[in-house]
Amino acid sequence: MMQVISLLLENKPGALMRVTGLLTQRGYNIESLTVARTHDPELSRMTIVVDVDAALRQQVIKQMNRLINVLQATDLTDLPAVVRELVLVRIRTTMESRTAVLKEAEIFGGRVVDSSTEGYAIEATGDPEKLNEFVDVMRSYGEIEVTRSGALAIGLEAKKLRLQPPVPTKAVTAQKV
């Protein structure tokens, strides 16, 4: 089963590499990864979907929390959470099936973002499994190209965020460590 990990981390060069390094060093393949700045420009929120051995999940989360750039790593797999993904589909379709494509897109809550004589570009968001079905349906109407964002998750339970306050440095006056 896939593990969904949500991380709050400092928006700094190398922070992403430190997090993914803990997974790649164990030979785990990352299924999806999204990362973007939060409302606080100094922080990023990351969602990782990865297949981790059940016995090692907690260990991986602890080691992520140990990283200096990571403020909080949470395993959302078994917690109440909303998981969403965005998919962009470009479809080439015949004139005859254009209406049918639109109807199908509508069923999935898709929205046309570009239209040409060759076909459409459609965006849809939703549960990643729902989007699999959407992509399958679209494929039955013609040649498609797909880009997916990867899962974005948000926990529904407030989790206390423990942050370290600034520590006055001893080095202001020359002093031994």
Partner 1 sequence: MSTLMNGARMLLECLAREGVECIFGYPGGVTLPLYDALYEHPIRHVLVRHEENAAFAAEGFARATGKVGVCCATSGPGATNLTTGLVDAMMDSIPIVAITGQVSSRLIGSDAFQEADTFGITRSCTKHNYLVKRLEDLAQTVHEAFYVAATGRPGPVLVDITKDVLQGQGHYQPVTAIHLPGYKVFTEGHTGQIRRAAQMIQEAERPLVYAGGGIIAAGAAAELREFVERIDAPAVTTLMGLGALPSEHPNFISMPGMHGSYAANMAMTESDVLIALGVRFDDRVTGRLAAFAPHAKVIHVDIDPAEIGKNRAPDVPIVGDVKRVLAKLNKLLAESPESTSETVTAARRAWWRRVRAWKEEHPLRPVTSETEIKPQHLMAEIDRLSGGEAIVASDVGQHQMWAAQLVRFNAPRLWLNSGGLGSMGFGLPAAIGAQFARPGKLVFALVGDGGFQMSIPELGTISSNGLPIKIVVMNNGYLGMVRQWQELFYNNRLCAVELDCFPDAAKLAGAYGFTGRTIESPRELRAALEEAVSTPGPYLLNVKVSPSECVYPMVPAGAGIHEMVLGPPQPVAVPSR
Residues 6+ apart with CB under 8 A from 76: 4, 5, 6, 83, 153, 155
Q: In angstroms, rounded to a whole number, what is the distance separating the alpha carbons of residues 150 and 35?
A: 10
Q: Closer to partner 1 at the Cβ: 1 or 176? A: 176
Helix (H, G, I), strand (E, B) or coil at 118: coil
Q: Closer to partner 1 at the Cβ: 18 or 148? A: 18
Minimum CB separation from partner 1 for residue 167, in Å?
5
Query: Binding residues for partner 1, how many (CB under 8 A)?
Result: 35
Q: In angstroms, rounded to a whole number, what is the distance separating the alpha carbons of residues 37 and 43?
A: 6
- Site pattern 53..92 for partner 1 (x: CB under 8 A): -----xx--xx-xxxxxxxx--------------------
Q: What's the angle, vertex CA 149, arms to CA 17 and CA 141, rounded to 5?
A: 145
For position 26 contacting partner 1 by CB under 8 A, the verdict is no
Residues that bind partner 1 (CB under 8 A): 9-10, 13-14, 17-18, 21, 25, 58-59, 62-63, 65-72, 162-169, 171-177
